[in-house]
A and B are shown apart, each in its own frame.
Chain A
Amino acid sequence: GAGVSQSPSNKVTEKGKDVELRCDPISGHTALYWYRQSLGQGLEFLIYFQGNSAPDKSGLPSDRFSAERTGGSVSTLTIQRTQQEDSAVYLCASSLARVSGNTIYFGEGSWLTVV
């Protein structure tokens, strides 16, 4: 499809395990965002990429969280030694350019449950 694609759509993992979440942005979109939405909570900004670089990592909640983007396209969000409070929906979004005025398109999210 032509939209933002995220995988896995659902993931159940044991506490302490590492997880990787993948995002395929819309082709040609240089800006890519990761957000987290916990149950009943608002959207929490995690990280923003422009191309392969991440000028704003301020939202990553701890050093257990990391993200990378390669080839200006696919991005991976990695959570090490998962904790129960990491359970949430992780949403990826992309847009055309860093210049304001471009609509941001979201994926369906990766639902993470840590047991």
Chain B
Amino acid sequence: KQEVTQIPAALSVPEGENLVLNCSFTDSAIYNLQWFRQDPGKGLTSLLLIQSSQREQTSGRLNASLDKSSGRSTLYIAASQPGDSATYLCAVMTAGNKLTFGGGTRVLVKP
């Protein structure tokens, strides 16, 4: 059974610092890995999707890496802003189009 873990569960940084969010998964037989953002009381917004054959994806200040063999992904957010405050979730897609989520990392960027 696939298990996804996100560490830390919560993170607080001053504005301008870089954010590093970690995600690990137990079964490396994945099709892809996605990072999502969830604001309080809202649904999920997809940030980045990394195919199993890829090692990283970049979008603006966001960069996500994937090491499938070791079951790890890292989301980097450069030069954090107060608007980056949210919960960040990673999820892996496995056979049967099943998407398994981690518990999320709650991020607070202080002005």
Contacts and interface: CB of A to CB of B under 8 A. Distances in A.
Interface stretch (A14-22, A70-78, A80-88, A104-112): A104-112
A98 interface: yes
Nearest to A102: B49
A10 to B, nearest CB: 10
A55 B45 CA distance: 25
Dominant SS at the B interface?
A: strand
A45 B51 CA distance: 21
A62 interface: no
Interface residues of B, number: 24
A50 B42 contact: no
A11 to B, nearest CB: 15
Q: Chain A, interface size: which category? A: 20 to 34
B71 interface: no
Nearest to A31: B97
B99 interface: yes
B55 interface: no
Given A91-B43, A100-B93, A42 B51 contact: no
A105 B100 CA distance: 15
Contacts of B51: 100-101
Interface stretch (B12-20, B76-84, B101-109): B101-109
Interface of B: 31-32, 34, 36, 42-46, 49, 51-52, 89, 91, 93, 96-104
Interface of A: 4, 31, 33, 35, 41-43, 45, 48, 50, 55-56, 91, 93, 98, 100-101, 103-109
